[in-house]
Amino acid sequence: MWLRAPLFSGLDVSHVHGLAPPALTLGWLDRLRGIVRGRLLVKGIVTGEDADSAIAHGADGIIVSNHGGRNEETLRATIDCLAEVVAASRSRVPVLIDGGLRRGTDVFKAMALGAAGVGIGRPQGWGLAAFGQEGVEAVLDIYARELEAIMRQAGTPTVSAIGPHSIVRRNAA
C-alpha cells in the first residue's frame, strides 16, 4: 500500500483560523511583493480602486474574481466588474477574469471588455470528474468551438480583433 506524509506534517498550524488573514491590507501586499521574486498576480479584485491600489503596490497583473460571491446572489458577477477594473488598470498590467465564464460566448464578451485572459476552472473540474482527461479535453474543445463560432458571427477573424466594438452595451434603466 502506498503511504504519504500528511500535508502539514511538522508545521505548527495551531494559530491558523482561516484560509486568508482576516485583515489583508496594502501593507500585507507590500510584504508579499518583497518576498515574491516572480510575477505577482492579485486575485479577488472587483473595483477600480482596488485595482489601482494593487498596481501601485507592485501587482504585475490583476485577476477579477468575486471568489464565488454570486453563489450567494449578493455580489456583482465578475463580468460586471471587468470593465471598471480594466479602465482603472490603464493598460499598466494585464487583467484576467476568473469566474462565471461557462461558454465560449462568455470568453468572447470578457475579451471584448478588455480581459487579457480567462480562467475556466469549474467546467474543467466537471469534465475531469465526469470523464477524466477526456472530459477536460471535451470541455476545452466546446469552449474553442463556441468561441470560433461567435468570432465568425461578430466578424472578428482573430482573437486580437475582439474589442469593445464587438459587443453592444445595454443602458441601465
The torsion angle over the Cα atoms of residues 76, 31, 21 and 66, rounded to 10 degrees, is: 10
pLDDT in tens, 128-153: 999 999 999 999 999 999 999 999 99
Strands 61-64 and 117-119: unpaired
User: What ranges do the domains of the chain cover?
Assistant: 37-163
Q: Are 147 and 107 in contact (CB under 8 A)?
A: yes
CA distances in angstroms from 101 to 69, 110, 112, 155, 173, listed in the order given: 14, 8, 13, 21, 25
64: which 3 cell numbers?
Answer: 477579477
Q: Which of 15, 17, 57, 67 is catalytic?
A: 67
b/e 37-53 (16+ beta carbons within 10 angstroms → b): eeebbbbbbbebebbbb
78: which 3 cell numbers?
Answer: 465578475
Question: Which CATH code fits 37-163?
Answer: 3.20.20.70
67 in active site: yes
What is the residue type of 131? F
What is the pTM for the complete model shown?
A: 0.81
Q: Are 105 and 127 in contact (CB under 8 A)?
A: no
Mean pLDDT of the region 51-55: 97
pLDDT in tens, 64-109: 998 766 556 677 889 999 999 999 999 999 999 998 899 999 999 9
Listed in order, strand segments (DSSP E) in 14-108 are 41-45, 61-64, 95-98
